[in-house]
Amino acid sequence: MKNKYKRRRIILIVVIAMILFSFSASFGRYVVINIHDMYLRTKKFYFQSDKLSLTGKTFKIDNWPGLVAYPINVEINSRKNYLEATDYDIPYTIRVTNYSSQYISYSLDKNSGTVDAGDNSDSFNLTIHPIGTLAVGTLVYIEVEAKTTDPYAKTIKGRFELEVGKEEITFEIKDEPGAPFMLLDITNTISSGTSAINLNFNPNYILLDLTDSNYLHRTSMNTTNMGGYNYINNLGFNLNSESSSSVRFYKQDVTQDYSGASLTINNNDDYIFRVGGTNLITCSGTRN
């Protein structure tokens, strides 16, 4: 019995030691990577990206139809900020390191590039192609890295995850207190054709920006009379598949933050945003 407990204690000690070793190794690599990057910054060497990082950013895209190709643009830059940047060219290479090969293939528009000292910016396009028809709920991923060795060595990487969801049109209000306008963001994940968007809104609260491109390319419009003046309260326009758009509204009261408006989605998938029990804007989208 005594030997039995002794063996258990030894096993427990070994397991704890392995966990601590794994944590120490990971933490050690993290420290080494960041110390090296700090050293490169002292040399005014900046090799960065909007979607890639030293430890690897992860981007999640929901409601991908899984029927058409999905393009991802990745920016590479050599700027610390708008005032300081690297004053020499940085050549780099690009490669995909891992991906869901059973579900997708991919293409890169180039395998190498140069971050020019003139504008301190470059970019490449990674496109994900579905293999066959993917079922709703399927999660695919792809990992990519950009690497430079001249004049210093640095690797930045990222992971993109796409989940296949139902084709739909969604609406979201973007606003903050003190902002003169609010934005209505519209995302169309329907895979083909165009969709008809219809917005009914309350001009007591928000006024349509008449320079907005969706207004300029409208398919329909209605007005309401308030205090002897006609105000637009309805707008219709078309939105392409697999695309997004924003509609700008000026706020009657700039102290309001309409991003906190209550939202109800009815059986017709209409989005109804309310403020104090009053309809602010009702949004609907249907495939043409």
* Residue-averaged pLDDT of the chain: 85
Q: Please state which CATH class domain 169-287 belongs to.
A: mainly beta
222 φ/ψ angles, rounded to the nearest 5 degrees: -130, 160
Supply the pLDDT for residue 104: 96
Torsion of CA 245, 250, 254, 260, to 10 degrees: -40
Distance CA 246, CA 182 (A): 10
Q: In the structure, what pLDDT confidence band is assigned to residue 231 with cuts at 50, 70 and 90?
A: very high
Fold of the 48-164 domain: Immunoglobulin-like (2.60.40)
Q: Within the chain, where are the H helices?
A: 2-42, 213-216
User: pLDDT exceeding 90 applies to what percent of the chain?
Assistant: 53
Torsion of CA 86, 87, 88, 91, to 10 degrees: 30
Q: How far apart are the first and last CA of the chain?
A: 77
Between 242 and 233, the higher pLDDT residue: 233
Supply the pLDDT for residue 24: 44
Q: Is the pLDDT of residue 270 over 90?
A: yes
The structure tokens listed for 234 are 């309805």
* Torsion region of 27: left, alpha or beta (phi above 0 gives left; psi -120 to 50 gives alpha): alpha
Highest average pLDDT, of 58-72, 131-145, 157-171, 223-237, comes from 223-237
Supply the pLDDT for residue 67: 77
Question: What is the amino acid identity at position 198?
Answer: N
Query: 54 with 33: CB under 8 angstroms?
Result: yes
Supply the pLDDT for residue 2: 47
User: pLDDT exceeding 70 applies to what percent of the chain?
Assistant: 85
Range in 18-27, 28-37, 113-122 the model is least confident about: 18-27
Q: Is the pLDDT of residue 32 over 80?
A: no
Supply the pLDDT for residue 45: 84
The structure tokens listed for 24 are 């120490």
> Given the DSSP bridges, would you call strands 121-130 and 271-275 parallel, antiparallel or unpaired?
unpaired
pTM: 0.52
Question: Which of the 8 DSSP states describes residue 200?
Answer: E
* 169-205 burial code (b ≥16 CB/10 A, e <16): bbbebebeeebeebbbebbbbbeeeebbbbbbbbbeb
Q: Among 53, 112, 46, which residue's Cα sits nearest to residue 83?
A: 46
Supply the pLDDT for residue 129: 94
Q: Is the pLDDT of residue 156 over 50?
A: yes
Decide if 48-164 and 169-287 have a common fold: yes
What is the pLDDT averaged over residues 209-223?
Answer: 94
- Could you read off the pLDDT of 52-111 as tens digits, one per residue? 988 888 888 877 878 778 889 999 988 887 678 888 899 999 999 999 999 999 999 999
Query: 262 with 183: CB under 8 angstroms?
Result: no
Supply the pLDDT for residue 28: 45
Domains of the chain by residue range: 48-164, 169-287
